[in-house]
Amino acid sequence: MKRLILVRHGKSSWANELPDHKRPLKKRAYKDAELVLKNFQNFYQQGGLFWTSYAVRAHETAKLFKKNLNIKDPDFEVKEELYTFNQNELLREIQLCPDDRDQLIVFGHNPAMTILVNFLGDKKFDNVPTTGLTVIDFEAESWQHIGAGKTILHLFPKNLR
């Protein structure tokens, strides 16, 4: 069995005239991450591989999870290829996960996140919001063969307030 956890980056700021990949998190993102993590901590099983987009907003969100879930450095990787808004590119990258890892946590961007959650999972969402987390389980032995999965958890900040 494979477990995929998709997390959309936290709320980011458009206040500065920065390139898209350098946009920082807003204060609200830290509060939202705290809410999601509070509800996710007891669910999370150690041993997951953490991959994040290099974009500041995704990387900072991932670091909040890393710290709170006590993720070790070798299990945390920043991947340039995850800075994508295309669900097919995102899925191709996920399928490269080593098969000896049964749990992968990916921090990335919309619309790729919402489209992929709806494509792979059995629950449909109009939008995975910022700091939204979705867990999908697959009856597959290889990441290359993940297909229709079962959405077993979704944590969206507005539902946790």
Fold of 2-160: Rossmann fold (3.40.50)
pLDDT digits (tens, 9 = 90+) for 115-146: 999 999 999 999 999 999 999 999 999 999 99
pLDDT value at residue 13: 84
Q: Kindly state the average pLDDT of the residues 82-110.
A: 97
pLDDT value at residue 161: 81
Question: What b/e readout covers 86-117, taking b as 16+ CB neighbours within 10 angstroms?
Answer: ebeebbebbeebeeeebbbbbbbbbebbbbbb
Q: Kindly state the average pLDDT of the residues 99-128.
A: 97
pLDDT value at residue 14: 81
pTM across the whole model: 0.95
Residue 25 CB partners (closer than 8 Å, separation 6+): 9, 10, 11, 12, 13, 56, 57, 60, 61
pLDDT digits (tens, 9 = 90+) for 4-40: 999 999 999 887 788 899 998 999 999 999 999 999 9
pLDDT value at residue 89: 97
